A and B are shown apart, each in its own frame.
Chain A
Amino acid sequence: MSKEIESYRVEVNGRTYEVGFPEEDAGVAEIDGERVRIDAELETPPIHYSFLIDGASYLVTLEPDDNEYGQYRAHLMGYDYEAEAISSREAFLRDFIRAAGVGKSEGVIKAPMPGLIVKTDVEIGDTVKKNQGVIVMEAMKMENEIKAPMDGTIKSLNVKAGDAVEKNQVLAEIVDKEATDQVRHNS
């Protein structure tokens, strides 16, 4: 007997879950093959939802991204989640496109928060070790040291002392040793 299930690939804080909804029973969901009973109601519009999952009560806030359909910011018990739900067809397409693309080994250093650059401790071409302090930035009047995510060489440095930066702005890029050698070799 074949049952029709509409399934979604959901990524929550970087981890992937397969969630399906069998067509014949609106009160059931499957997560990674496990069946649960699910009941959901919008509790306080527009973002507070009540979920009863196998009877357990959860108050979840769901904020869909206005620009990126299928992307959400969610909160539960004080925890903050970034999530994306795509249909199995979209997932298939995306995997296909990814497989055709080329991977690159680079470390991008992004601003973890909006703030002000206090100083930079490296220059382009410098060799850095993982966790070495690279940039000092100030936010909320506190200084925060931003560290290198990996061993490598500074490929680009996009900020200087006094610059105001936005969250996730690329501050510097690091290339690993092999890539560095390759760059040298090619040039």
Chain B
Amino acid sequence: MFEKILVANRGEIAVRVIRACHLLGIKAVAVYSDVDRLSQHVLLADEAYPIGPAPASESYLRGDKIIDVALSRGAQAIHPGYGFLSENADFAQQVTDAGLTWIGPPPSAIASMGSKTQARSIMQKAGVPVVPGSPAGIERDEEAKKTAEKIGYPVLIKAAMGGGGKGMRVVHEPDELINALEGARRESLAAFSSPLVYLEKYIERPRHIEIQVFADHHGNVIHLGERECSIQRRHQKVVEESPSAVVTPKLREQMGSAAVDAAKACGYQNAGTVEFLVDPDLNFYFLEMNTRLQVEHPVTEMVTGIDLVQLQIRSAAGEVLPYKQEDIRQRGHAIEFRVYSEDSLGNFLPSTGTISYPKPPDGFGIREDSGVSAGGKISIHYDPMISKLVVWGKDRPEAIDRMKRALTEYRIAGLRTTIPFGIFVMNNESFRKGEIDTGFVAREFDAEVLRREEERLEKIIALAVAWSRHTGKDKPIAQPCGNGKAGTSAAVLDGSNWKRKGREKLHR
């Protein structure tokens, strides 16, 4: 087993990995950018080293610096977390070439699954069902037009090298195509350094259901059941759960074995996720494979009882998978809600700021994976996720109620968050019935409902603010007022001690 692991990430996932290291008695090395000196991952790690300025391209994406730190500080392995360099095959190769262990899949598997078009063709060959679409990256507009006509509108434009919804556009009408292509290429170029996009048949009302797979270095591949991630805004997941409300044991077996086939087809090792679109008739289509730990991995951990990050580390060290497929059981129901610094009432626009004294909920069945603390800044440089709130319940209704309780208890100030949106989802009839698909937010979410609730509570705020102003509790008083000395204002002289604050602004 390793003695020291470098964690090449920040935020909650770095914290998650450091905790797994400590559980195994392994020392954890953190790296951090200039703005992250006081981030949780730096505080929790055994050692921490600076790697550059705030922009990720000058710090967390600097593979060379990260490898230097690992080598000079005696780490034997690198865990990339998710995002940043986690799906960068070149970096994985450089880590291996430097004599370090890469805690993740082989670079070849990252590369083949990283190209969505290549992934599609590998999956087709392996007999895994795929969505009809264009075979390769489309460069010419004419070609895109022809392909779109062939597969039929609506079509989906996707970044060939991308993920996470960036560079993605739905096109309903032929005359929208060119504009959408331009936008998608621009976003793709900015996010993934490649303007290459491709087209896919847009499946109406699909559910997003993915299978967690795990492969050791000895040819054993298992799946750990599904996660449903249909609640998305801007094509990004916000609520994830396991099991899915619609997956039957039979469907789980079919999707699970398709996912295991997919992992075998690309020579996979370590933790990976095979994403599927599931149509209303429960046909499933391969969407993509994520060659890393997923943000939403905790829901799988909560229902299977398996610590996936610990398993990743053990497996990378060469251990044989301690589980067979039949050992994997789902118990109860888990839901994850991503708390983002976004305005629930304002179209999910990013809200930046400094988090003041957060008070996350606790109690039975609640897990919070958070990488920020009081005074933690949510800056424009990184992902605006504040924390992942995860709940477990004996069944889906209980898990939903527990999430609702957790969200209403969550106190966070300093910025706007997706918490009101989360409460909306937990109260929503369709969600509670399990009747969801990726169009849920567009169809069901009504910010007016939240606005009414916000307005209902305004009176409380008005009273609180007036009380604070009235009592002067908001500001330390430098010197006693109202002592009757010459020059003291009338407000003080009339004997009302509590009026003294009122004059300050007037007399400034």
Could you list which residues of chain A lie within 8 angstroms of chain B, going by C-beta atoms? 6, 8, 10, 12-13, 15, 17, 19, 21, 23, 29, 31, 36, 38, 40, 42, 44, 46-49, 51, 53, 58-64, 69-70, 72-81, 83-87, 89-90, 93, 112-115, 118, 138-144, 167
Give which listed residue, A69, A77, A80, contacts B416 with CB less than 8 A. A80
Contacts of B183 in A (CB 8 A): 143
A140 touches B496 (CB 8 A): no
> Which of chain A's residues has its CB closest to B464's CB?
A60
Q: Which of B414, B459, B499, B504 contacts A63 (CB 8 A)?
A: B414
Of the candidates A6, A42, A51, A60, the one whose C-beta lies within 8 Å of that of B498 is A6
Contact for A47 among B356, B415, B455, CB less than 8 A: B356
Residues of B contacting A115 with CB < 8 Å? Answer: 350, 380
Q: Please, how many angstroms separate the alpha-carbon atoms of A135 and B406 in the complex?
A: 39
| Assembly CA distance A23 to B497 (angstroms) | 11
**Would you call B460 and A53 a contact (CB within 8 A)?**
yes
**B6-32: which have CB < 8 Å to A?**
none
CB of A32, distance to nearest CB on chain B (Å): 8
User: Nearest-CB distance from B407 to chain A (Å)?
Assistant: 7
Q: In angstroms, how far is the closest chain A Cβ from the Cβ of B313?
A: 30
Contact of A85 among B359, B380, B465 (CB under 8 A): B465
Task: Tell me, in angstroms, the Cα distance from A42 to B351 when the chains sit together.
Answer: 27
| A34 nearest in chain B by CB position | B459
Residue of A nearest to B474 (CB): A64
- Please indicate the chain A residues that have their CB under 8 angstroms from the CB of B190 in the complex: 138, 141
8 Å CB contact of B499 from A6, A48, A81:
A6
Is B462 at the interface (CB under 8 A from chain A)?
Answer: yes
Chain B residue at minimal CB-CB distance from A136: B183
In whole angstroms, how far apart are the Cα atoms of A56 and B506 in the complex?
35
CB B194 to nearest CB in A, in angstroms, measures 14
Contact of A75 among B349, B383, B411, B422 (CB under 8 A): B411
Is A69 within 8 A of B504, CB to CB? yes
Q: How long is the Cα–Cα vector from A113 to B379 in the complex, in angstroms?
A: 11
Q: What residues of chain A lie closer than 8 Å to B473, measured between beta carbons?
A: 42
Does B147 touch A at the CB level, under 8 Å? Answer: no
Q: List 30 A-B contacts (CB under 8 A).
A: A6-B502, A10-B465, A12-B461, A15-B455, A15-B458, A17-B458, A19-B462, A21-B466, A21-B498, A23-B496, A40-B467, A40-B471, A53-B463, A60-B464, A62-B464, A63-B356, A64-B468, A70-B505, A78-B407, A79-B420, A79-B450, A79-B457, A81-B458, A81-B461, A85-B468, A87-B502, A89-B506, A140-B383, A141-B191, A143-B183
Q: How many angstroms from the CA of A181 to the CA of B47 in the assembled complex?
A: 67
> Are the C-beta atoms of B380 and A114 separated by less than 8 Å?
yes
A45 to chain B, nearest CB (A): 9
